[in-house]
């Protein structure tokens, strides 16, 4: 019994310990679960607050972007600026308005501040949200962009490239698009876009970020080797106009070889208009071998001179695409619209259908621009190569001699004088040993006869512009009466010019007792009169033949024989002549393009690329009002100075256009960065919350607000 009681006491004690352990476990589990629940609840609360803040930031960013887009759409922008009422990326204006006028804009506004955009409502725990929208246009759109596709395939890599000599400037030369010199850059050059590279020094050059400058690089740039549009051959010779129509002298594409004649024609009227096409200028007014006779070209030098007139090359801007419509003689070459100069000819920067000119210079041909001259050249647009307007030939050939022999009569000759002729037909006197004609004097006293033959025309015409250097008359005949003063003679007539009587006698002054060939050479020394007439007719392309008069004589009643009358010509046909080895291609004594020094008031606009890898350019300008070269220049060497002038143009003088998809003036792309600030103000700072790119398009009146088409191209939250 006692043992049983002891056993139950021990069992009771053991149960109480187990119950305590179970209670502790239950309390612990409840505590852990309760703590976990409380922790998760706090985290959820915090997440809810954070999500609400993020949502408000997102809402504020979206709202700010939409307000900015609507402001761009309606043109309801701040500022006193008037036309245009919507943003078109004009220099000096802002996305959200400007003060002043379009011609003189001030305080451009490209930031839109939207304070208290989302006000704090009653009972809310979140604070108000404000936003700030910063607008940056794409430089290649709107007024700053091109209406045609521009890319690295159809423009030079730099605005200025000098391949063999320095770039020198006496005044600050403003450039857009970069400079590369295989020599040095001497003087102040200021770039607002692009990089500077120079094999030599370029210490005075300044570059705006993000452009870079590298001087003394020792790495020359390669010649781009742009081709010309001549097709490898000299185009047809053209004569400069000699009269005006509506005070306009019209020039046709082709080959011009006389600088003096071209200078006279270019200054004949108020305006010289060069129709769209390719022009090859290879002047022959300087002395040269074989192809520069003074009888044709004179000796005034190979410089084409423009003296105070207007010159336009390409399709006139008001022609509606008609390349045969000339501009008016009083055309305003400084017309502006919305503060931007309008080209006088259709520019390849603004029209993919631009049909312009290319001026190709060969040999030592060069251009001099005198004071008060206004000149603009527009090139043709190409998708795969630059629109070159001035081209200096890098390579070419040397004219070689060509011969046309055995020119003969084209009809039966006629005879006059004493005696009788037998067999006087064209076949008998047009080739050697193919029959002949004979003359019987009919008397023993002194007798004479003259045979006249016409023709001597090549079967294939010699091209106009060819230069004859010699002509040889060959007469195969026999004068059996070999006494003194019985020798035969001949004359040659071209047009209205007849040579003197030319003896066909032997060295003793006697005639020939055997069949022989007598030759007479015509050139500028031996028989200049008739030779110059022949040379001019062939050069002009007006040679229609010659006349040979053969005279036989006899003192005794002895017959004579005429076997053949033939004319041989040696001439040179023009070829493309490169500038290699000429004064243009070495040094600075013969600038390919030069201008009058002093206050010359010259206006020179090149709507296209200048490519003259061997040419030296001396650009001297005063009072200019717009860019000189809009599509870059590649030359051997370049000098620039502003000469006693007061230019109204303050932007780049040389430039290449920015790459552009070709939207044109009516389409502007803008990038909007939206910053969000907690609170009622966001004039600065804040968090970048949204990026968006928007296209603004308007094909109507810029002054009419509210009808722009807005296209969102991208919309990206940053958080």
Span 683-707, pLDDT tens digits: 999 999 999 999 998 766 555 555 6
Taking the complete model, does pTM exceed 0.75, yes or no? yes
Q: What does the pLDDT look like over 365-381, one tens digit per residue?
A: 999 999 999 999 999 99
- What Cα–Cα distance (Å) separates residue 144 from each residue in 66, 622, 707? 25, 25, 22
Query: Higher model confidence: residue 21 or residue 418?
Result: 418
Distance CA 233, CA 332 (A): 37
Cβ proximity of 654 and 633 under 8 Å: yes
Query: Which one has a higher pLDDT value, 28 or 378?
Result: 378
- The b-or-e profile of 338-369 (16+ CB within 10 A means b, else e) is eeeeebbbbbbbbbeebbbbbbbbbbbbbbbb
Q: pLDDT value at position 102?
A: 64
Say which range, 135-149, 288-302, 344-358, 360-374, has the weakest mean pLDDT: 135-149
Q: For the chain, give percent helix, strand, coil, nearest 5.
A: 15, 35, 50
**Could you tell me the maximum CA-CA distance found in the chain, to the nearest angstrom?**
202
DSSP, collapsed to helix, strand or coil, labels residue 360 as strand
- The stretch 545-555 carries a mean pLDDT of 94
Task: State which of 177-181, 516-520, 585-589, 659-663 shows the largest mean pLDDT.
Answer: 177-181
pLDDT at 47 over 90: no
Average pLDDT of the chain to the nearest whole number: 88
The span from the CA of 388 to the CA of 216, in Å, is 30
Domain residue limits, the chain: 2-145+664-717, 401-572
Instruction: Give the pLDDT confidence score for residue 68 in this predicted structure.
Output: 92
Q: Can you tell me the distance from the alpha carbon of 175 to that of 158, in angstroms, rounded to the nearest whole number?
A: 10
Average confidence (pLDDT) over 261-268: 97
Average pLDDT (563-583) is 93
Residue 27's pLDDT is 57
CATH topology of domain 401-572: Jelly Rolls (2.60.120)
Do 290 and 572 touch, CB atoms closer than 8 A?
yes
Rg (CA), the chain: 44
> The tokens of 580 are what?
């290699």
Question: CA neighbours within 13 Å on the CB side: how many for 4?
Answer: 1
Q: How confident is the model at residue 79 (pLDDT cuts 50, 70, 90)?
A: low
**Does the N-terminal peptide bond of residue 396 adopt cis geometry, omega within 30 degrees of 0?**
no
Question: Collapsing DSSP states into helix, strand and coil, what is residue 642?
Answer: strand
Confidence of residue 9 (pLDDT cuts 50, 70, 90): very low
């Amino acid at each position: 019994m006692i043992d049983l009681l002891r056993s139950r006491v021990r069992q009771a004690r053991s149960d109480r310990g187990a119950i305590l352990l179970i209670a502790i476990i239950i309390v612990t589990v409840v505590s852990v679960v309760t703590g976990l629940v409380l922790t998760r609840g706090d985290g959820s609360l915090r997440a809810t607050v954070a999500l609400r803040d993020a949502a408000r930031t997102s809402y504020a960013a979206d709202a700010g972007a939409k307000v900015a887009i609507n402001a761009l759409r309606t043109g309801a922008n701040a500022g006193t600026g008037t036309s245009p009422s919507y943003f078109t990326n004009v220099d000096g204006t802002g996305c959200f308005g400007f003060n002043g006028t379009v011609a003189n804009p001030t305080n451009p506004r490209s930031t839109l501040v939207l304070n208290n955009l989302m006000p704090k409502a009653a009972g809310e725990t979140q604070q108000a949200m404000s936003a700030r929208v910063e607008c940056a246009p794409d430089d290649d759109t709107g007024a700053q962009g091109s209406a045609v596709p521009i890319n690295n395939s159809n423009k030079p890599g730099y605005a200025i490239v000098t391949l063999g000599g320095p770039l020198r400037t006496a005044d600050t030369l403003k450039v857009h698009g970069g400079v590369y010199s295989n020599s040095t850059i001497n003087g102040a050059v200021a770039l607002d876009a692009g990089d500077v590279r120079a094999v030599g020094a370029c210490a005075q050059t300044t570059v705006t970020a993000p452009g870079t400058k590298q001087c003394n690089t020792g790495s020359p740039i390669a010649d781009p080797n742009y081709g010309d549009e001549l097709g490898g051959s000299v185009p047809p010779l053209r004569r400069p106009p000699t009269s005006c129509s509506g005070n306009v002298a019209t020039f046709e594409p082709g080959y011009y070889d006389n600088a003096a004649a071209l200078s006279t024609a270019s200054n004949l009227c108020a305006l010289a208009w060069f129709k769209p096409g390719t022009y090859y200028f290879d002047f022959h007014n300087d002395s040269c071998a074989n192809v520069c006779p003074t009888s044709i070209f004179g000796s005034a030098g190979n410089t084409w001179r423009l003296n105070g007139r207007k010159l336009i090359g390409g399709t006139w801007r008001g022609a509606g695409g008609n390349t045969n419509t000339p501009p008016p003689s009083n055309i305003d070459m400084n017309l502006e619209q919305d503060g931007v100069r309008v080209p006088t000819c259709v520019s390849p920067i603004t029209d993919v259908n631009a049909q312009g000119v290319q001026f190709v210079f060969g040999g030592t041909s060069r251009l001099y621009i005198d004071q008060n001259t206004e000149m603009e050249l527009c090139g043709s647009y190409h998708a795969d190569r630059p629109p070159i307007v001035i081209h200096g030939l890098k390579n070419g050939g040397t004219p070689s001699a060509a011969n046309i022999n055995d020119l003969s009569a084209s009809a039966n000759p006629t005879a006059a004088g004493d005696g009788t002729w037998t067999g006087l037909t064209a076949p008998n006197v047009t080739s050697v040993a193919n029959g002949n004609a004979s003359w019987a004097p009919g008397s023993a006293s002194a007798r004479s006869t003259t045979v006249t033959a016409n023709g001597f025309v090549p079967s294939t015409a010699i091209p106009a512009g060819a230069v004859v250097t010699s002509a040889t008359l060959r007469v195969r005949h026999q004068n059996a009466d070999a006494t003194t003063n019985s020798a035969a003679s001949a004359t040659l007539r071209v047009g209205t010019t007849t040579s003197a009587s030319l003896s066909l006698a032997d060295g003793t002054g006697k005639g020939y007792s055997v069949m022989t060939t007598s030759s007479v050479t015509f050139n500028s020394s031996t028989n200049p009169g008739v030779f110059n007439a022949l040379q001019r007719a062939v050069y002009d392309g007006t040679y229609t033949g010659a006349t040979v008069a053969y005279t036989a004589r006899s003192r005794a009643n002895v017959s004579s024989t005429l076997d053949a009358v033939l004319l041989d010509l040696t001439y040179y046909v023009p070829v493309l002549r490169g500038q290699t080895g000429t004064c243009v291609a070495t040094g600075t004594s013969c600038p390919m393009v030069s201008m009058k020094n002093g206050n010359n008031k010259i206006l020179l606009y090149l709507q296209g690329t200048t490519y003259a890898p061997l040419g030296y350019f001396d650009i001297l300008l005063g009072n200019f009002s717009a860019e000189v070269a809009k599509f870059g220049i590649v030359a051997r060497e370049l000098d620039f100075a502003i000469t006693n002038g007061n230019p109204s143009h303050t932007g780049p003088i040389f430039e290449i256009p920015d790459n552009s998809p070709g939207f044109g003036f009516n389409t502007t792309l803008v990038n909007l960065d939206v910053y969000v600030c907690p609170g009622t103000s966001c004039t600065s700072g804040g968090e970048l919350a949204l990026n968006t790119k928007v296209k603004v398009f308007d094909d109507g009146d810029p002054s009419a607000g509210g009808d722009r088409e807005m296209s969102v191209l991208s919309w990206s939250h940053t958080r």
